Structure 1
Amino acid sequence: MANNKEIVKTLKGLLLDANAHVTFAAAVKGLPVKLQGVVPENMPYSIWQLVEHIRITQSDILEFSRDPGYQSPPWPEGYWPKSPAPEDSHAWKKSLDQIDADLEAFIALLEAPGVDLFAPFPHGEGQHLFREAVLIADHTSYHTGEIIALRRLLDAWK
């Protein structure tokens, strides 16, 4: 496809850059450890639970996109951590690092030589790489906004 490079460039911008919104990395940067697991009043989850939900969902989309034999976790319990707080600072860092690594791996799928961004996966129901890239961007952006709202409730946002 002649426009493939431009489409991939645009998708990468959507996945990585702060266009019309704050990036995920900026939303979690500098969050005090003591606030990672706080569930504000009248809210259903903590920032940690949102971060883990983003990690789990992005990993699910990545694995579905590259592995025809992959089985998704059960919905919804497989996509949300039970604990409102990470075990320790290592768990927080590990989750953030995995989000970055999985996003890089997904971008590598988009950049693979000869990839057809719109070819339906043989193992899906019409899904294709372009759709999955937009899904990652949309899902992460939605929950990034929630992270910022929680940070504001916790008086931890500029």
Structure 2
Amino acid sequence: MNDQQQLLVSELEKLLNEGTAHVGLSDAIAGLPKNLRGVQPHNLPYSIWQLVEHIRIAQWDMLQFSKNVKHQSPDWPEGFWPKEAEPADEESWNNSVTQIKNDLQEFTNLVKSEDLYQQIPGGDGQTIFREALQIADHNAYHVAEIIILRRLMNAWK
């Protein structure tokens, strides 16, 4: 890998894992009271739990698409959004957050090991580079919504 490629991979890794210019998921949910995970404030159509689960499902889908030509995405939109406003229990919450972190690490490993510009088999022109940008953009968008919900519930810094 030449120096320019190494720099690009390093910057993508930072963008995916640290957020660089914005708060990451870990910070956005840190200290969130358990009783607020399922609240849908001010007639909004989703709760923090639903946003976390949506991040998990969408990121998992992008990871699987990037590495498995036989992957079948869930139906849109119902397959990407949980119906339940709150997690069934603490284990469900923890499993979702853990899977987000683990899948993000696995995708970061793809960024480090695969040709960023090679078209993904079975796709219509997508590359690992494009999927990396999409994951970062998608996660940042919904993490910002989590922070907004926390502000609306007076549960943010």
Counterpart of 1:152?
A: 151
1:5 deviates by 1.2
| Rounded Cα–Cα distance in structure 2 between residues aligned with 1:104 and 1:141 | 16
The more displaced of 15-24 and 35-44 is 15-24
| Rounded Cα–Cα distance in structure 1 between residues aligned with 2:121 and 2:56 | 25
| Rounded Cα–Cα distance in structure 2 between residues aligned with 1:118 and 1:63 | 17
Q: 1:67-146 to 2 correspondence within 5 Å?
A: 67-112=68-113, 115-146=114-145
- Counterpart residue identity of residue 138, structure 1: D
Q: 1:46-61 to 2 correspondence within 5 Å?
A: 46-61=47-62
Identity value in percent: 52
- Counterpart residue identity of residue 34, structure 1: N
| Rounded Cα–Cα distance in structure 2 between residues aligned with 1:139 and 1:147 | 13
Return structure 1 stretches of 4+ with deviation > 2 angstroms.
none
1:42 deviates by 2.1
TM-score norm. by structure 1 comes to: 0.96
Which is richer in helix? 2
Number of aligned pairs? 156
- Structure-2 change in CA distance of 1:126 and 1:48 (3 Å): same
| Rounded Cα–Cα distance in structure 2 between residues aligned with 1:69 and 1:153 | 42
Is 1:22 matched up with 2:23?
Answer: yes
| Cα pair 2:61 2:73 within 8 Å, conserved | yes
Identify unmatched segments of 5+ residues in structure 2.
Answer: none
1:122 deviates by 2.1
Is 1:36 matched up with 2:52?
Answer: no
| Rounded Cα–Cα distance in structure 2 between residues aligned with 1:9 and 1:44 | 37
- Counterpart residue identity of residue 146, structure 1: E
Q: CA RMSD in A?
A: 0.9
Residue-by-residue CA offset, 1:45-77 (whole Å, 9 max, x unaligned): 000000000000000000000000000000000
